[in-house]
Amino acid sequence: MRIDDWKPEFSVGVHSLDTDHKLLISLMKQFEDAFAGDHDQQYVTVLSILNALLDYTGYHFGREESMMSAVRYPDLVAHRAAHNEITANLVKLRDDFERDPARVSTARFEETLIESFYRHLTEIDRAYMPYMAARRNLAAIANDAFVHREDDDGLLFIDAD
């Protein structure tokens, strides 16, 4: 199965979260292309894409959870558990690939990235859409607060001087 580019029907109705999803899907597609090549030759590329994916996934899940919490999304607990499971599977995939690329089969990649993560971004996330729409102001405040918190910690931006 190929990973499709982000399309308007994947939208969750929140600009920042759609932007995150676009970036994550683009990283998945880069991973898919690199992974299809010779594993030994692509080792460094695949590993750096997986690390970038893991970093941005952590950031995105944090932002999304703080916004879901702000709009009092009723399925937050289950949604957070799904995020934790995706993260754990991604970490395991990265660690296994780092140790021995031959241990990571195409089937495993499809299961971890496509069946669970890609499906989460393009289908499952849309369940919170009406709650974000109903409390737009609270969602926006949580989004700004989250971005600034990351900024203050220096996690997202590197000082110019």
Q: Which residues bind Fe ion (CB under 5 A)?
A: 64, 125
Nearer Cβ to Fe ion (32/64):
64
> Helices in the chain by DSSP H: which ranges?
15-36, 39-70, 76-99, 106-109, 119-122, 129-134, 136-153
Shortest approach of Fe ion to residue 102 CB, angstroms?
31
Q: CB of residue 64 vs Fe ion: minimum separation in angstroms?
A: 5
- Smallest gap from Cβ 98 to Fe ion, in A, equals 25
Beta carbon nearer to Fe ion, 53 or 104? 53
- Tokens describing residue 12: 């969750």
* Token couple for 8: 């308007």
Shortest Å distance, C-beta 136 to Fe ion: 17
Name which of 60 and 97 has its Cβ closer to Fe ion. 60
Minimal CB distance residue for Fe ion:
125
| CA distances from residue 50 to 30, 73, 100, 161 in whole angstroms, order as listed | 10, 30, 14, 29
Which CB sits closer to Fe ion, 32 or 125? Answer: 125
**CA–CA gap between residue 113 and residue 139 (Å, rounded):** 27
